[in-house]
A and B are shown apart, each in its own frame.
Chain A
């Protein structure tokens, strides 16, 4: 696939990552290079323990590579301090987790408002953003509900609203449908597709589910720390 590097939202350049456990080095990613162009919707598949989450964490600046560089939205994450990374995440990234990870003590509205508290917005502006985000996920009428009053699918949609509230350039989703029934999973995938096509949000989604992966524009297969080329057609015929 031809690409213009400057057009990439995410670039992993020759990235390796290893963990130390009981003084034993565990290599997870080895000399991995990856370019995700603007507006892409990439699905990452691979066996458990192949390093998918690790890869997302590196792209999110939540962890640092052992060697190699990570460049997101033109910013080399390696040069940023802890505080710089926090700020960078708050301004550029949105996260969707498998376990939704909403604050149980906050309403849907307040959960979505959380990332906006870090932005230079006043109360009215925050309200506008939150309401817009909740409308996109079709939960405007649930804004005062607490997470425990929502279904799993609804919780995940609130989580998506939280992830998009600050207009991120990149959305990182780690098995966003992994905890959902088929119908809810469909709704979540519909939403991600909508965000990608209508709003041009770049998405990287880790998934186990081939049905989910099919909704992406591009499929990446991670195996033993490196990408093996795979295409969606092949996936469909193999299943």
Chain B
């Protein structure tokens, strides 16, 4: 519209101030967009697992409870079960690293059937199956740690009092929802080491992951599994993969809640910063606003112009922060420094959400100054300085 040039000039009038306001919006939105991307991707990953009809079985007490490996066979025998594997967290230390990456003891014969979207080349799968101390690693972690087929990976037991000396026999890959930062080894290798040391922890699968033959039978199947082991000394709980992941996230602390609270605080303080900037800018322009009104600019026009200016400043910050985050995560691979964050990227939805949020912050920050400008009495405005 006709007033855009004047609005743009006003945005650019005090470049430093616009820059500061814009960048504080940009930086905060960068953060908010990342946090929400994290949440969104979690949901996305959970949704992506749905077609595979996977069920996780643990002890009723959760992950710390015992799940006898003998249950695996009994589960496999059920009619509704297509395939099942142990999925046992080892949590060993790799070299000098303090935080363990994901290592699972599993069954090389069925793992690629249960985890169908995880692709391992056939010859590598054969090679792994032929090597008792062999392992398969995700493509991303392999790239970041520089692992190649044939490399040795020593893992020092932390939870378990045994060490594993593994050899990379294969590398699995998959699309963006696949966690490509895991390591799989033979459950028996760990279990036999434990038995050799006569550890009571031997024979515990921790988790049994299974794939049902179809989606609709899953509720019934889970009930059946629960019932079957109910009266044993290790009763179990079966849940869908999605429920399992969600309970895991809840265990980590109410992540969602915190992200919302943090974002809320950030947005609120931005409102104050941006609102103050707009108020200052308008106060300096009292006379000009009075002149515009004298010339015949109506309240609505003045209101609209100030709001528009505020929205533009907000969007400038939004473009830099939200789209900047999108671009940064699209071009730089952060899993190299942040193991376990290889999945993190900024979905378009989140980037656009950030942009909309920035526009909203701008709009909201402009409301009071715009209202004041619109209500300004011309006579008072013109008398102000002279």
| Across-interface contacts of A110 in B (CB, < 8 A) | 5-6
| Across-interface contacts of B378 in A (CB, < 8 A) | 57, 62-63
User: Which residue of B has the minimal Cβ distance to A95?
Assistant: B294
**Are A87 and B291 also in contact (CB < 8 A) when A110-B6, A117-B3 are?**
no
**Are A101 and B288 also in contact (CB < 8 A) when A106-B9, A110-B5 are?**
yes
- Which residues of chain A from 20 to 73 have any CB-CB distance to chain B below 8 Å in the complex? 57, 60, 62-63
A86 proximal to B (CB < 8 A): yes
- How many residue pairs link A and B with beta carbons under 8 A? The number is 69
**Are A106 and B6 also in contact (CB < 8 A) when A62-B379, A98-B386, A101-B288 are?**
yes
A103 proximal to B (CB < 8 A): yes
B residues at A contact (CB < 8 Å): 2-3, 5-6, 9-10, 12-13, 287-288, 291-301, 378-379, 382, 385-386
User: Which residue of B has the minimal Cβ distance to A179?
Assistant: B386
| Across-interface contacts of B301 in A (CB, < 8 A) | 118
Residue in A83, A103, A105 whose CB lies within 8 Å of B299: A83
A233 proximal to B (CB < 8 A): no
Question: Given A95-B294, A97-B291, A115-B296, list of 8 further CB < 8 A pairs?
Answer: A83-B299, A86-B293, A88-B296, A90-B295, A99-B287, A101-B288, A103-B288, A103-B291
Structural contact, B295 and A95, CB atoms closer than 8 A: yes
| Across-interface contacts of A89 in B (CB, < 8 A) | 294-296
User: Which residue of A has the minimal Cβ distance to B291?
Assistant: A101
| Across-interface contacts of B386 in A (CB, < 8 A) | 98-99
In the assembled complex, 11 residue pairs joining A and B whose CB atoms fall closer than 8 Å, in A order, are: A57-B379, A62-B294, A63-B378, A86-B296, A88-B296, A93-B296, A101-B288, A103-B291, A104-B13, A110-B6, A115-B296
Structural contact, A115 and B288, CB atoms closer than 8 A: no
Q: Is the interface of B mostly helix, strand, loop or mixed?
A: helix
Distance (whole angstroms) from the CB of B358 to the closest CB of chain A:
24
Distance (whole angstroms) from the CB of A96 to the closest CB of chain B:
11
| Across-interface contacts of B12 in A (CB, < 8 A) | 105
| Across-interface contacts of A91 in B (CB, < 8 A) | 296
User: Which residue of B has the minimal Cβ distance to A88?
Assistant: B296
Structural contact, B382 and A97, CB atoms closer than 8 A: yes
A82 proximal to B (CB < 8 A): yes
| Across-interface contacts of A118 in B (CB, < 8 A) | 295-297, 301
| Top 9 A-B pairs, shortest CB-CB distance | A90-B296, A105-B9, A86-B298, A89-B296, A101-B291, A117-B2, A62-B378, A115-B295, A63-B379
